[in-house]
Structure 1
Amino acid sequence: MAKPPIENLPIIDISPFLDPECPAALQDLAARDIGYACQQYGFFYVKGHGIPNEKLDQIIALAREFFSLPMEEKEKIKRYDAGGPEGGDGARGYQGMGENITDGKRDVQEAVDFYREWGEDSDAEKNGPPFKTLHGPNLWPEKPEVIKPVYLDYIEKVKAIGKILVRAMGMALELPPSMEGATQESEDREIFVRNTDRCFWVMRLIGYPPLENQVGSREEGDIEEFSCGAHTDYGCLTLLLSDPTPSALQVQLRDGTWMNADPIKGAFVINIGDMIERWTNGVWKSTRHRVIHRGNNYRVSVPFFFEPNFDAVVKPLGECVQMTGGESLYEKTTYGKHLLGKVFGNFI
Structure 2
Amino acid sequence: MSLPFVDVSPFLKKGTPPSPAKDTSAKSLFDACHDVGFFYLKGHGIPKETCDLVLDTVRNWMLTATDEEKATIARKDAGVGDGDGARGYQKIGENVTLGKSDFHEAIDLYATHPLAPPSPPYQPLHGPNLWPNHLFSDIFTSYIDQILLLGAALMRCMAVALSLPEDHFEPFINPSFWVCRAIGYPPLTPEAIKANPGGVGCGAHSDYGCWTFLLTDETRGALKVEGKDGEWIDANPVEGCYVVNVGDMLMQWTNGLFKSTVHQGNHPPTLDLLQRYDGLMLTYMGIVVHLGSNYRVSVPVFFEPSWEAKISPLEGCIVKTGGKALYGGATYGEYLLGKVASNFYTEKQ
Superposition map of 1:48-67 within 5 A: 48-67=43-62
Tell whether the 8 Å contact from 2:92 to 2:105 is kept in structure 1 after alignment. Answer: yes
Paired residue for 1:201? 178
d(CA) in 2 for partners of 1:51, 1:322:
36
RMSD over aligned Cα, in angstroms?
A: 2.0
Paired residue for 2:261? 287
d(CA) in 2 for partners of 1:158, 1:343:
22
d(CA) in 2 for partners of 1:135, 1:225:
29
Residues 1:165 and 1:51: Cα distance change in structure 2 (over 3 Å):
same
Superposition map of 1:1-348 within 5 A: 6=1, 8-18=2-12, 24-68=19-63, 69-84=65-80, 86-118=81-113, 124-142=115-133, 145-175=134-164, 177=165, 189-212=166-189, 225-296=199-270, 297-346=294-343
Tell whether the 8 Å contact from 2:207 to 2:246 is kept in structure 1 after alignment. Answer: yes
1:51 Cα deviation (Å)?
Answer: 1.1
d(CA) in 2 for partners of 1:333, 1:150:
33
Matched residue type, 2:129: N
d(CA) in 2 for partners of 1:347, 1:279:
27
Residues 1:256 and 1:347: Cα distance change in structure 2 (over 3 Å):
farther
d(CA) in 2 for partners of 1:146, 1:65:
12
Residues 1:43 and 1:87: Cα distance change in structure 2 (over 3 Å):
same
Tell whether the 8 Å contact from 2:109 to 2:180 is kept in structure 1 after alignment. Answer: yes
Secondary structure in structure 2 of the residue aligned to 1:234: coil
d(CA) in 1 for partners of 2:82, 2:54:
28
1:22 Cα deviation (Å)?
Answer: 8.0
Q: Can you give the 5+ residue segments of structure 2 that lack an aligned partner in the other structure?
A: 192-197, 271-293
Matched residue type, 2:237: P
Secondary structure in structure 1 of the residue aligned to 2:306: coil
d(CA) in 1 for partners of 2:49, 2:342:
37
1:21 Cα deviation (Å)?
Answer: 6.9
1:286 Cα deviation (Å)?
Answer: 0.6
d(CA) in 2 for partners of 1:268, 1:125:
31
Matched residue type, 2:171: R
d(CA) in 2 for partners of 1:212, 1:225:
13
The percent identity for this pair of structures is 47
Deviations along 1:223-273, whole A, 9 cap, x unmatched?
x74110011111100000000000000001122111110011221110010
Tell whether the 8 Å contact from 2:221 to 2:234 is kept in structure 1 after alignment. Answer: yes
Deviations along 1:7-60, whole A, 9 cap, x unmatched?
x21122222223577861101111111111001110001111111111110000
1:213 Cα deviation (Å)?
Answer: 6.3
Q: Can you give the 5+ residue segments of structure 1 that lack an aligned partner in the other structure?
A: 1-5, 178-188, 215-223
Matched residue type, 2:147: V
Matched residue type, 2:172: N
Deviations along 1:112-138, whole A, 9 cap, x unmatched?
0110013xx5xx453311111111111
d(CA) in 2 for partners of 1:347, 1:230:
16
Deviations along 1:187-227, whole A, 9 cap, x unmatched?
xx53433211110001100011122469xxxxxxxxx7411
Matched residue type, 1:208: Y
Tell whether the 8 Å contact from 2:58 to 2:182 is kept in structure 1 after alignment. Answer: yes
d(CA) in 1 for partners of 2:240, 2:37:
20
- The count of corresponding residues between Structure 1 and Structure 2 is 315
> Could you state the TM-score of these two structures normalised by the residue count of structure 2?
0.86
Residues 1:83 and 1:225: Cα distance change in structure 2 (over 3 Å):
closer
Residues 1:125 and 1:168: Cα distance change in structure 2 (over 3 Å):
same
Deviations along 1:129-162, whole A, 9 cap, x unmatched?
11111111111112xx521111111111010000
Secondary structure in structure 2 of the residue aligned to 1:146: helix
> Could you state the TM-score of these two structures normalised by the residue count of structure 1?
0.86
